[in-house]
Amino acid sequence: MKPIKLISGVLTVGFWTLMSRILGVVREVMILAFVGPGPLMDAFVAAFRLPNMFRRFFAEGAFNAAFVPMFSKKYEGEEDPLVFARDALSGLAFVLLILTALALIFMPALVYATAGGFVGDARFDLTVGYGRIVFPYILLISLAALFSGALNATGHFAAAAAAPVLLNIFVISFMVIGAYVGGAAIFWLIWAIPFAGAAQLVVVWIAAERAGIRVRPARPRLTPDMRQLVRTAIPAALAGGVMQLNLLVGQFVASGYEKAVGWLYAADRLYQLPLGVVGIAVTVVLLPDLSRKLKAQDHVGGRAALSRSGELSLALTIPASVALVVIPLPLVSVLFQRGATGASDSAAIALAVAIYGLGLPSFVLQKVFQPLYFARENTRTPFNYAVVSMLINAVLAIGLAPFIGWIAPAIATTVAGWSMALQLFFGARKMGEVASFDDRFFTRLWRICAASALMGGTLFAGQLLLGPLLAQPWVRGLALTLLIAIGIVAYGIAGQLLGAFSLSEIRNLVRRRGKKDTSPS
């Protein structure tokens, strides 16, 4: 895959991920307006986190880390990749059916283990009931991840990137229908989840069929390839599980404080917007590309792909991080403060957003560095690093909570994020030149930081000038849009003048994006 095709893939995935994240913000706006911070939202967040936790084990995280490099090598080689995909599909479905059945039976124990602060009040029984409705989502979304991984490995990024949009579309649609026909908003919200999972699976399955990836389930078989898949996936699953344990530790701590689970969830969803657009887009495209280059011993191409991905990621992430730290309250109040969400809720969510914003670059850098390990089918090293990160998170979240209260998990998440990124960075240096950034990356990095700092000063001044308008319900949306536009223009001008990036270079990449590259990769 040539650099232009790498950027093209990033842009394709990034576009659909951006659509998903924008609709995700709309989704959260509706949830906070119709449900709002409180027992119902706390129960929903805790219930929905259960399938999402296992999703990191069996879907995007562990599964892609193991499946994509193996499928890519078979697709590029002489072995039949569809036989491998069929066995992987059958084995995954078998395991997930058992897991789902056990979870439905032992849901009270799961809730007790992940949200112990709910015991003794109405939130516990609510979470158990909601969990039994939404948990089958893990089966549907994990199978969808298999087809998405196969599509990504063969260079078909659009359908796999577009499918997650359906979750937000279904939630938004169900809640709009609920508001129109009546009934509890939480009822419509909960039932939207399994329907969305089914729709996502159907979309990527059809896309795979059209791409020639015709996979049918069969009797599970423990072939040599499946043994290798399991050996590779288990450490990746444990690594992903460690990161999920970080979230669960935070939720466990927050569950002892009124509304805190909902506050942290809302803050998490806001900073996930830039994280998803940049981090997921780069990882989805970079992992198959690095796998092919490593197989071909193309170290120069691999280093260039890594450097351009890191450069593009930080050029988008650092200014987003600065914005989350400088103007969190305008962002939160304009987006979320309505209906069941009041000013005190906005202030709490904004504090968490600013803290998460400090960690945003670390989370994206993890997405950049991890493919270096996964492309080599090395999932043990990231797992070891993740364990260290988990211990740091747990010590800080639990240890700080008695002194600073519900915000401790946010601080712990940010510190743990940077510890993980630094471990991945220094560990990658042992892989040689292919795992290091080139001179252009470091030249542009400090310029990106300088341009972001200038943008931050501009945003701070703009916030002061537009403060009265940001407080007026009828114009605050326009005022926030203007403030963000000012920040984007300021960053664009500063970045161009300082040499952080070249706007003409970006235009050329976008202009050439649709052209077919017939040169060998």
Count Cβ atoms within 10 A of the Cβ of residue 219 and give its class: 0-12 exposed, 13-18 middle, 19 or more buried. Answer: exposed
Give me the DSSP letters along 310-339: HHHHHHHHHHHHHHHHHSHHHHHHHHH-ST
Give the chain's mean pLDDT.
Answer: 83
The count of other CB atoms within 10 Å of the CB of residue 308 is: 20
Q: Does pTM surpass 0.85?
A: no
Greater pLDDT, 476 or 502: 476
**At which residue do the structure tokens 């450097």 appear?**
307
Nearest to 364 by CA among 314, 409, 416: 314
- The answer to whether residues 170 and 140 touch, using CB atoms and an 8 Å cutoff, is no
pLDDT at 9: 56
**514 pLDDT higher than 50:** no
Q: Which two tokens stand for residue 481?
A: 């849009």
Q: Which of these, 377, 382, 521, lies nearest to 70 by C-alpha position?
A: 377
Task: Give the separation between CA 84 and CA 378, rounded to whole angstroms.
Answer: 20
User: Among the listed ranges 204-218, 280-294, 437-451, which one has the minimum average pLDDT value?
Assistant: 280-294
Cβ-based neighbours of 321, under 8 Å, separated by 6 or more: 274, 357, 358, 360, 361, 452
Give the C-alpha separation, 125 to 117, whole Å: 12
The dihedral built from the CA positions of residue 316, 322, 326 and 332, taken in this order, carries a sign that is positive
pLDDT at 287 over 60: no
Q: Is the pLDDT of residue 127 over 60?
A: yes
Task: Please give the share of the chain, as a percent, with pLDDT higher than 90.
Answer: 37
> Residue 149 in contact with residue 81, Cβ under 8 Å?
no
**pLDDT above 60 for 406:** yes
Question: Average pLDDT for residues 436-457, to the nearest whole number?
Answer: 91
**Based on the number of CB atoms within 10 Å of its own CB, is 294 exposed (0-12), middle (13-18) or buried (19 or more)?**
buried
- Mean pLDDT within 262-276: 84
pLDDT greater than 80 at residue 199: yes
* Lowest-pLDDT choice from 11-20, 221-230, 338-347: 11-20
Query: pLDDT tens digits, residue range 243-253?
Result: 677 778 888 89
Over the Cα atoms of the chain, what is R_g? 22
Given a contact cutoff of 8 angstroms between Cβ atoms, the answer to whether 508 and 515 are in contact is no
- 360 within 8 A of 273, measured Cβ to Cβ: no
150 pLDDT exceeds 90? no
State the virtual CA torsion across 307, 446, 427, 433 in degrees, nearest 10: 40
Give the span between the Cα atoms of 422 and 439, in whole angstroms. Answer: 19
54, 220 Cβ separation under 8 angstroms: no
Greater pLDDT, 296 or 90: 90
The per-residue pLDDT for 108 is 95
Q: For residue 400, give every residue at least 6 positions away whose Cβ sits within 8 Å of its Cβ, in sequence order, or none.
A: 408, 411, 412
CB 128, CB 182: distance < 8 Å: no
Q: Are 343 and 333 in contact (CB under 8 A)?
A: yes
Assess whether pLDDT exceeds 50 at residue 371: yes
Q: Do residues 312 and 282 touch, judged by C-beta distance below 8 A?
A: yes
Q: Which of 471, 485, 498, 455 is nearest to 323 (CA)?
A: 455
